[in-house]
Chains A and B, each alone.
Chain A
């Protein structure tokens, strides 16, 4: 039997807007994935540490405060620093379209803006999970 996909849904920084993160977390759980939600106010260090501890296959970052720079790329950088290259990193929130290519260039695998259908995220994870 196939191993369950483990997803860490995380809220980096001080942003308190957790509606989207919680809705996505539930949708992933309903799609049969194992979901860990960090709660609020996580530093990139805390997120990377939890992801490694929990053996997550995917990190889903949510930011609606405009602080996706520098927080998302910082998570990617710390993963690299810890020698981890098989965790899929995705993000979402209030993110101007022109920032998306920059986030991808910084190593974020995919960015989902407001209005993204939940099954699009589920499908993306299933197709792209790295192990």
Chain B
């Protein structure tokens, strides 16, 4: 990026600076540590200059926003045009309670919805299943049938607002319920915008809410990609997620590498079904974590865009939109502390700022009380306000990619890309993503990083304010959200009444048609839609697929 002569003079000047200025200074003022490292363990130098990015070519590697390789952002004007979507992940108790929370958030300026489902729902169990005991509504809303879905979105303009749903194992079924609920209100599926997470690979790797083994799971995912491409064109049929990989303990580099490896795996699977990459790639979306190390996170987002664009081009994508990495970001839940919970607001602010400076399309900010429980109304409002302050008061949205050209950020972006590439090579050596999962490769890498991080904290090498420094003996005095225990009884009662009321022969027929289709190789989406429309429950529909596909058992690694 600089001419030779200029670089030589900077090199000479830097040498002198090191030998004279720095050396003298260090005699009087030693540095605070022997070395400084990012959360991924990348050693950070004292200073970055043009010399650190002399190999970078501005046009090839950095370029212009809205243009390949999209390092500076996927849109030409970024937040000067449209801000990111304020999208708070929420859900608890019954569909009624969560519907109220949605309306509360929308009234306070939220611009997109994001549904958290409870554990039974994530595993495709109805609330009355024995494994669901004690789990109802605890970390999300329970949706056992189309009826619950209708209540969940009652009076919410689903043709105008986009909805993201964190659902993976039974994603096709929950998506079918959303489509069916909208159609019952006269809203055609072509008008529906939103996202289903539908990323099973990271479930095996990190989040662990898998149901079926990898092969049939990949089939279901490609079924949804194909169906969406044809009939629900504004829907993101997958959100390839690094968030949970990071929360499970991965470093930023691992999050970046494993997520993109998963992404390329889905693309290859869809291509081998015979789908046209330029038809489905524009509907693939991503989901990342924003953790504590400010610049490393920003570099991660920038590297992700560049890696994805380059990789997709290699896989044969021609249309510009196919090269766009559009992503949602959530601040790091695992970075929140139960100690002095109020100070979590500051952590979240920094993490959210990193996501914005990294060019996110959508953002969730965590609430201050989430190391203790699900967020209270006040806590989630403060979290939403944090985004609004960044968006409207800080001025960081006035120009595109304000950190582009920073010697450090550009160097770190390139470094993240190289480290990710090293992981891609290792995954390739292991035979690809699924064989690597079966060998426990990702799981072991993540467990290692989680343990290393914890030891650094224990030894005081990583300072966590309120946990290993500036510790206080305090009464925790913040309001805690309680899930109403009565909800479970009401939900089970609603299910019982539904089962009495519905046409049980229709249910039986649709389920047996689904079973036959699952045994063959047709796209299952139309069959699943029939099941949910007949008010077959989530559990009944998932059970049919469990019967045909079997269930996944994970290798135990720690």
A-to-B contact residues, CB < 8 Å? 13-19, 21-23, 25-27, 37, 39-41, 43, 65-67, 69-71, 74, 94-98, 113-115, 117-119
Contacts and interface: CB of A to CB of B under 8 A. Distances in A.
Contacts of B450: 19, 22-23
B343 interface: no
Contact of A67 (B138, B370, B476): B138
Contact of B248 (A18, A39, A113): A18
A104 B134 CA distance: 18
Given A25-B558, A115-B464, A117-B458, A96 B451 contact: no
B338 A113 contact: yes
B554 A40 contact: yes
A43 B374 CA distance: 23
Interface in B238-286: 247-249
B135 A67 contact: yes
Given A65-B138, A71-B134, 17 more contacts: A13-B131, A14-B123, A14-B125, A14-B131, A15-B119, A16-B208, A17-B208, A18-B248, A19-B248, A22-B557, A40-B208, A65-B135, A66-B373, A69-B134, A115-B337, A115-B466, A117-B458
Nearest to B203: A16
Contacts of A27: 451, 454
B120 interface: yes
A26 B557 CA distance: 10
Contacts of A115: 337-339, 371, 464, 466-467
Contact of A97 (B125, B467, B476): B476
B333 to A, nearest CB: 9
Interface residues of B, number: 44
Contact of A96 (B337, B373, B447, B454): B373
Nearest to A16: B208
Interface of B: 119-120, 122-123, 125, 131-135, 138-139, 207-209, 247-249, 334, 336-339, 370-374, 447, 450-451, 454, 458, 464, 466-468, 476, 480, 483, 554, 556-558
Contacts of B249: 19, 23
A113 to B, nearest CB: 5
10 contacts: A13-B135, A14-B119, A14-B122, A16-B209, A23-B454, A39-B554, A41-B131, A67-B119, A69-B134, A117-B468
Contacts, number: 103
Nearest to B448: A26
A14 B447 CA distance: 20
A58 B456 CA distance: 26
A91 B138 CA distance: 18
Nearest to B207: A16
Contacts of B447: 22-23, 26
A66 B483 contact: yes
B134 A23 contact: no
A108 to B, nearest CB: 15
Contacts of A16: 119, 207-209
A88 B447 CA distance: 26
Contacts of A19: 247-249, 334, 450
B556 A39 contact: yes
A37 B557 CA distance: 9
B451 A66 contact: no
A95 B208 CA distance: 21
A96 B556 contact: no
A34 to B, nearest CB: 13
A114 B337 contact: yes
A6 B122 CA distance: 33
A69 B134 CA distance: 7
A96 B247 contact: no
Nearest to B247: A19
B436 to A, nearest CB: 19
B289 to A, nearest CB: 13
A43 B131 CA distance: 7
A71 to B, nearest CB: 5
Nearest to B339: A115
Query: 8 closest A-B pairs (Cβ-Cβ)?
Result: A16-B208, A14-B119, A66-B138, A22-B558, A115-B467, A114-B338, A67-B134, A39-B556
A113 B371 CA distance: 9
Given A66-B374, A67-B135, A118-B458, A96 B480 contact: yes
B554 A94 contact: no
Contacts of B338: 97, 113-115
